[in-house]
Amino acid sequence: MRGTDDTDETATANDGDGLDPREAARLLARTKRDARRQFNISPPWITAFMGAVILLGYAALWLSTRGQHPYSGPSAGAIVLVYVTVAVAIAVSVKVYRRATAGVSGPALRKQKVEGAAILISYIGSPVIQGAMRHYGASHAIVYGVIPAAAPLIIVGTTVLGVAASNANRPQFITALAVVTAGIVALFVGPSGAWLAAGIGLFIGVVVYAAMTGKRFLLA
Amino acid sequence: MGTDTLDPVIHAPARLRIVATLAALPDGDSLSFTRLQDILDLTPGNLITHLRRLEDAGYLTSESTGNGRASRTTIALTHQGRAALDTYTEALRDLLGGF
């Protein structure tokens, strides 16, 4: 038999008689904490990891475009770095999500999947606007600077804002609000500054989310 | 310290862990038998025995789908089970003077 609290294969009416209330309270608290960890799709470490990815990606984009006159866009190296870090972040997130939701089924999980799909679909918004801007002859600075930096934050951020509001999820709502605000700021600070504003805004959003959810996790 | 006020169905280490683990899921969601067994590190026989006791008390429901190797059993805490855990937690708090 693997490690277990009960050593026999039967459960009788008296099998809790030897359990001291203090021990029961400790067991209950430990089990609740372990279960929350098991089912948590965004553990603190992944939030910290996302923060690092954001910082690295946006710093690379900003550094490669800083001081460009006229604006020509991020360097190939910076773009490759961003794609690689985003791919790694997606792979890690999917692995964590699959592990947390393995064996779980029901209405809450289905709702979560629909919300996830809505957020993923909203990512299409930015390249569509970018394409339209290019079609109408907007400048390089707008098409390859301001829009790709600011639009995802505003579009995806407002989608997350709606999801958070419908779930009364305060940490998610505040984070999404910070991200949308950063996106709006990014629209008005020039093509290179847009990457910096977007990166700082996203990073602050992630840090705020980690702090709020971490505190909630410790207090629960 | 008296344990008379504690629900005997929940007041057993394995069943307490089963109920507390299932209560961590959102209301209405269920968990597969294999994942629950994996989390609690109980033998299948031991887990089945305790699940049956909890199901008899109306604290959880189980549903089996498929046949043979493709069969899957899922377990969910009922409203009654969730309420029983809340009552048990309150009773523990009263006994220990808040924990």
Q: What is the CATH number of the domain that holds B82?
A: 1.10.10.10
* Domain total of chain B: 1
Residue B4, in any domain of the structure: no
H/E segment holding residue B7? none
Check CB contact under 8 Å for B46 and A4: yes
Rounded CA-CA distance A180/A155 in Å is 8
A18 near B CB under 8 A:
no
More confident of the two residues A220 and B58? B58
* Share of chain B residues as helix, strand and coil, in percent rounded to the nearest 5: 55, 15, 30
Percentages helix, strand, coil for chain A (3-state, rounded to 5) are 75, 0, 25
**Through-space distance between the first and last CA atoms of chain A, rounded to whole angstroms:** 32
Low-confidence ranges of chain A (pLDDT < 70): 1-17, 215-220
Residue B66: the pLDDT is 79
- B46 and A105 in contact by Cβ < 8 A? no
Q: Which residues of B touch A36 (CB under 8 A)?
A: 24
Question: Terminal CA-to-CA distance of chain B, rounded, Å?
Answer: 15
Contact with chain B for residue A11, Cβ under 8 A: yes
**pTM metric for this prediction:** 0.79
Is the separation of the CB atoms in A91 and A49 below 8 Å? no
What is the per-residue pLDDT for A3? Answer: 40
Residue B76 DSSP code: E
- Lowest mean per-residue pLDDT among A115-124, B2-11, B53-62: B2-11
Residue at B98 is within a domain: no
Per-residue model confidence as pLDDT tens digits over A25-72: 999 999 999 999 999 988 888 888 888 888 899 999 999 999 898 999
Give the model's pLDDT for residue A218.
52
Torsion of CA A200, A205, A210, A213, to 10 degrees: 170
Looking at the complex, report in whole angstroms how far the Cα of residue A196 sits from the nearest Cα belonging to chain B.
39
Residue B6 lies in a domain: no
Any A CB within 8 A of B64 CB: no
Determine, for residues B6 and A31 on separate chains, whether the beta-carbon distance falls below 8 Å. no
Average pLDDT, chain B: 91
Q: Given CB atoms, is B5 within the 8 Å cutoff of chain A? A: no
CA B81 to chain centroid, in Å, comes to 8
Containing domain of residue B52, as a range?
13-89
